Amino acid sequence: SQQGEEDPQALSIQEGENATMNCSYKTSINNLQWYRQNSGRGLVHLILIRSNEREKHSGRLRVTLDTSKKSSSLLITASRAADTASYFCATDYGQNFVFGPGTRLSVLP
């Protein structure tokens, strides 16, 4: 299976703290993307990072990619209660686009 892994599976933090989620994958990729999903809803695209990039920022989000370790991390700074959701990494292998198991983030007010 090409599906990678994410950790932690669940993360609970206080508002204002930073949240870090990690994603690992198994084979070479074209790019890696992070998505957010609120309960019972569709996916919201957060950031795409290409295989030749190492870090990208978008607002309070920072994504890193280490192709030598086949891993990526998503950092959410100064978290808010509205950030409570499931976060998935998805790896684009060209023909396939595969999701990790996700991290359920709870930000407590």
Question: Which stretches of the chain bind another protein, using CB under 8 A?
Answer: 3, 30, 33, 35, 40-43, 45, 48, 88, 92, 95-102, 104
Residue 81 beta carbon to another protein: minimum distance, rounded to whole angstroms: 20
In the complex with another protein, which residue's Cβ is closer, 89 or 107?
A: 89
In the complex with another protein, which residue's Cβ is closer, 15 or 101?
A: 101
**Token pair of 90, please?**
């998805």
- Cβ-contact 47, 31 below 8 angstroms: no
Q: What is the DSSP letter of 37?
A: E
d(C-alpha 106, C-alpha 72), whole Å: 20
d(C-alpha 98, C-alpha 107), whole Å: 26
Residue 102 beta carbon to another protein: minimum distance, rounded to whole angstroms: 5
In the complex with another protein, which residue's Cβ is closer, 6 or 83?
A: 6
Residue 16 beta carbon to another protein: minimum distance, rounded to whole angstroms: 26
* 3-state secondary structure at position 82: helix
| 19 bridge partner residues | 76
In the complex with another protein, which residue's Cβ is closer, 1 or 68?
A: 1
